Amino acid sequence: MDGHPVAYSRRVITELMVPSYANFGGKVHGGTLMSLMDKLAYVCASKHAGNYCVTVSVDNVQFLQPVEVGEVVSLMGSVNYVGRKSLVVGIKVTAENLQEGMSKHTNTCYFTMVAKGADGKTATVPPLVLESEEEVRRFCSALQRRRIREEGVAFMNHYKSSFTNDEAELNLLSDERCVLAIRPE
């Protein structure tokens, strides 16, 4: 299967933040930005895969700075990593104040998308052609995030299945901000 270079599916979305996007505090809703990021992730992933893609997980969602109404948000997306049927789209978001000419980085996150064929079954994705050291670094970083996520899932599955309310576990809570008020069932 022939691959596609990263540039083949790299895309940018630019959108003015209008008042209807604001929350009660007057800043742009995090959910509005998430929705834009999800659309961009779909565009980049589907272009690379040549197939319909669905979002399966999102890593590193952090809102580093608030986005104001009136700012112009730019979302830059590119495929960072390709597995067998999944791809990771990295998205960098910046917000620009046109009057002051200032631009700020508000977040970077990583969408894992899975390709689906016309039959609705998961589909194999073409390889990613890496043409720069930066693209290699992003691919390797995504591989590490995938490894850490898989280890985290395995750890939590084991933790949940072996969890007991024993004294050692409850002692871990002594410095936490919680009150134990368990009622007998």
Binding positions for ligand COA, rule: CB under 6 A = 54-57, 83-86, 112, 114, 122
Distances (CA, A) of 53 to 4, 22, 44, 92, 116: 16, 29, 10, 20, 6
Q: Which is nearer to ligand COA, 54 or 98 (CB)?
A: 54
Which residue, 18 or 148, is less far from ligand COA as judged by CB?
Answer: 148
Measured from each CB, the residue nearest to ligand COA is 83
Q: To the nearest whole angstrom, how small is the minimum distance from the Cβ of residue 42 to ligand COA?
A: 9
CB atoms within 10 A of CB 37: 23
Output the smallest distance, CB 137 to ligand COA, in A: 19
What are residue 61's phi and psi, to 5 degrees? -80, 110
CB 53, min distance to ligand COA, A: 9
For residues 171 and 181, what is the distance between their CA atoms, to the nearest angstrom?
15
| Residue 27 beta carbon to ligand COA: minimum distance, rounded to whole angstroms | 25
Answer for the pair 52, 120: CB distance below 8 angstroms, yes or no: no
Which lies closer to ligand COA via its Cβ, residue 94 or residue 138?
A: 138
